[in-house]
Amino acid sequence: MKPKQVDPKKVIQLVTALNAAIWLGGTAFFTFIAGPAVFNSELETILPKPENGIAARFMIGKFAAFQLACAAMSVISLLISWRFRLLNHLNQLALLLFFIILFLGVGALFLTPKMDALFQLKYADYFGLQATSEEKESASKAFGQLHGISQLGNLLVLIGLLVNFILCWKTAARQRETNTN
């Protein structure tokens, strides 16, 4: 008996589609379930303000690492797919991936540090910082605005990840249809 031959192209397409699914699913889970759960009023006795925000900041750090790992896997898959000419939508996926990574980078490098500083100023008493009530109020307002921008960026990334998943899935499904016919 001879072992079944594995087609490396199919493996790459499978890895690409699975990574797209995991990235989309993880992002949706964090956005709609894990993130809001930290601020649920039923948990307020366990996680009062600002400790719920501290927990959220910790989770965001872990989520950023997850996003980075998925993005790296997508870039590697894209490069391999380009090399073997596996993807039908290579230009669209490359452009989409560029913008997703750009949004993630802006969030990680600019928004998150600024929001962390504003969060600490907003709760200056908790963190042992000196701040006037006007500074705290200003920090609270600025934090809210940046949080809104962050949420909008997250929504755009989620839409991009959905499109990424659809394109990767279509390519893998089309290849499978071609092989069965």
- pTM for the model: 0.88
Q: How many CB atoms lie within 10 A of CB 166?
A: 13
Instruction: For 136-148, write each residue's pLDDT tens digit.
Output: 999 999 999 999 9
| Sequence spans of domains, the chain | 8-173
- Helix 8-29 to helix 133-180 angle, to the nearest 10 degrees? 150
Dist. CA 55–CA 42, nearest whole Å:
15
pLDDT in tens, 77-112: 999 988 877 766 778 889 999 999 999 999 999 999
